[in-house]
Copies of this chain bind each other. A is one copy, B any other.
Amino acid sequence: MAPRYASSLRSLLAPLLLSLQTSFIVIYAFCTEVEHDVRVDGTTFSNFYAGTFQFFKAYFSISLAEFQDVNLMVILGFGFVCTFLVRYGFSGSGFNLLVAVIATQWAIILNGIESLYHRGKIRIDLRSLVVAELCAASALISIGAVMGKTNPVHLILIALLEVPTVKSIMLLHIFGAFFGLMLSWILYRKGSEQRFEKEKFDSKTGLFSMLGTLFLWMFWPSFNSVLVDDRTPGRKLGAVCSTYLALAVSAVTAAAVSVLSSPKGKLNLMHMQSCILAGGVAVGVSMSVIQQPWEAMTIGFTAAVVSTIGFRYLKVHMLLAFQCHDTRAILSTHGLPGLLGWLMHLILQIKDCDSHTVAIQFAVFHICALLITIALSLLMGIFTGLLLKGNFWRPPQDKKCFDDQAFWEFPHLAVRK
């Protein structure tokens, strides 16, 4: 039976949302301006500006179509990937939307602090929206690990605490994955080794999440290329082609490894959804050093192998040995392919270096960047987890986990049952 009253929502969620949103509006009122607000002083300057603007448009700016591609991934892709649970579809897609829009508004402010200091205003244009949505994606990855065992207040606080610590768009998958893993470790519930009754998919919810997955898969080339500097002609299109090939190889390889590792010799739908994206994640991390199609394809192949094997064996192991109950398997979907991409970046960059000194310098820098990212994500994950632990935030009871009825009105079902 559904709980009669969702105390966590009325007394916590609504005040949190309203106060957050009001604060954002006040901050935006004093600190931001949109691009169309340009004032030009005279004809000469106007012409000059127009020329600059054209140049700017051609090489640096982000088109409406690219913005929409990223928006599709963040809102629809990540949202519908979370609908695979048989009774958690409304929460999966609805909470994803809430977290995405709050994290995006928050990230715009945080990313603009420097510009606020220098120019007095944060400029909002398609580029700042896209960068903010990429930061939001990091939070959306993390909440996948604790999905179903938290209430929306938890999810929003996670996003608020995680977004300020995302420092590198390149490593956002690794950051998000380890952050989420620590959360799931701290927020571990006793008895999770036995599967929750409602933690499963059926033939229809599997198709809904297939839809979300395909949107992520199809628009990953835009995701990886959107921030590539297009001053060198073709650099951006090269990123699109490399990512497409890596994704294609991942899809084929994930299917093969899923069959080989299955006791019954069958395909697993969850593998076909998580692991076909591995190539996109790995190539995204190592994009800047990929020169040839076969490099992208090899990375896609290795990433899919690592990701599928990780999903098959590591997910259970993490639960039983480390008490990390990772609902959406973000370790094998985002973490492992991200690490692989980082390694490939290192290898390919060193191979291209002319002198040993440069190579060693790069290696040290590259390894430090990873270690700092992982250390930061582990620490912040543990900190956030500890903050969210406890009954103050009113987490759903064990038997209400993975159930929409804890949070959503079902007027007609109530009448029937």
Instruction: Quickly give the copy total for this chain.
Output: 3
The smallest C-beta distance from A177 to any residue of chain B, in angstroms, reads: 24
Q: How far is the CA of A292 from the CA of B125 in the complex (A)?
A: 12
A79 to B251, CA, bound (A): 14
Contact flag A237-B294 (CB < 8 Å), given A218-B68, A253-B17, A266-B9: no
Contact B68 A69 (CB under 8 A): yes
A102 at the interface (CB under 8 A from B): yes
Interface string of A220-241 (1 = CB under 8 A from B): 0110010000001111111111
Within the complex, the shortest CB–CB distance from A250 to chain B, in Å, comes to 9
Q: What does the 1/0 interface line of A227-269 toward B look like (CB < 8 Å)?
A: 0000011111111111011011101110111011010111111
Q: How far is the CA of A50 from the CA of B35 in the complex (A)?
A: 29
Answer whether residue A365 sits at the interface, using C-beta atoms and an 8 A cutoff: no
**Contact, CB under 8 Å: A217 / B38:** no
- How many Å from the CB of A376 to the closest CB on chain B? 27
Q: Does A274 contact B (CB under 8 A)?
A: no
A66 at interface by CB-CB < 8 Å: yes
A170 at the interface (CB under 8 A from B): no
What's the Cα separation between A92 and B141 when bound, in Å? 28
Name the interface residues of A89-113: CB closer than 8 Å to any CB of B. 89-90, 93-94, 97-98, 101-102, 104-105
Cβ of A195 to closest chain B Cβ, rounded Å: 8
Q: Which of A208-216, A319-327, A380-388 contacts B (4 or more CB under 8 A)?
A: A208-216
Instruction: Enumerate chain B residues within 8 angstroms of A401, measured Cβ to Cβ.
Output: none
Q: Mark A267-301, 1 if CB is under 8 A from B, else 0.
A: 11100100010000000000000011110011001
Query: Is A207's beta carbon under 8 Å from chain B?
Result: yes
A379 within 8 A of B: no
Contact in complex: A412, B200 (CB < 8 Å): yes
Q: Which residue of B lies closest to A15 (CB)?
A: B256
Which listed residue, B4, B245, B268, B404, touches A203 by the CB 8 Å rule?
A: B404
A64 to chain B, nearest CB (A): 6
Q: What separation, in Å, do the CA atoms of A267 and B207 have in the docked complex?
A: 25
Q: Given B36, B211, B294, which contacts A32 in the complex, CB threshold below 8 Å?
A: B294
Q: Using known A-B contacts A5-B264, A71-B218, determine if residue A253 contacts B18 with beta carbons closer than 8 Å.
A: yes
Closest chain-B Cβ to A89's Cβ sits at a distance in Å of 5
| Overall SS of chain A's interface | helix
A362 within 8 A of B: no
CA distance A124 to B232 in the complex (A): 17
Q: Tell me if A407 counts as interface (CB < 8 A to partner B).
A: yes
B13 near A256 with CB under 8 A, answer yes
Which of chain B's residues has its CB closest to A80's CB? B211
Are B25 and A301 neighbours in the complex by a CB distance under 8 Å?
Answer: yes
Q: Are B215 and A292 in contact (CB under 8 A)?
A: no
- The interface residues of chain B lying within 8 Å CB-to-CB of A69 are 68
- Contact at A232–B21, with CB atoms within 8 Å? no
B94, A14: Cβ atoms under 8 Å?
A: no
- Is A126 in contact with chain B by the CB < 8 A criterion? yes
Interface residues of A in 306-351 (CB under 8 A from B): none
- Residues on B with C-beta less than 8 A from A200 are 411-412
**What's the Cα separation between A232 and B49 when bound, in Å?**
12
Given the interface contacts A6-B265, A252-B102, does A76 sit within 8 Å of B214 by beta carbon?
A: yes
| B207-A293 in contact (CB<8A) | no
- Residues of B near A256 (CB, < 8 A) are 13-14, 17-18, 21
Q: Which of A46-96 contact B (CB under 8 A)?
A: 49-50, 53, 63-69, 71-72, 75-76, 79-80, 83, 87, 89-90, 93-94
> Hey, which chain B residues are within 8 Å of A75, CB to CB?
214, 217-218
Quick one: given A255-B98, A256-B17, A266-B6, are A28 and B125 in contact (CB under 8 Å)? no
Complex contact B409–A293 (CB within 8 A): no
Q: Please name 10 pairs of A and B residues whose Cβ atoms are closer than 8 Å in the assembled complex, sorted by A.
A: A6-B266, A24-B249, A36-B235, A53-B234, A64-B221, A64-B225, A64-B240, A97-B217, A102-B252, A268-B409
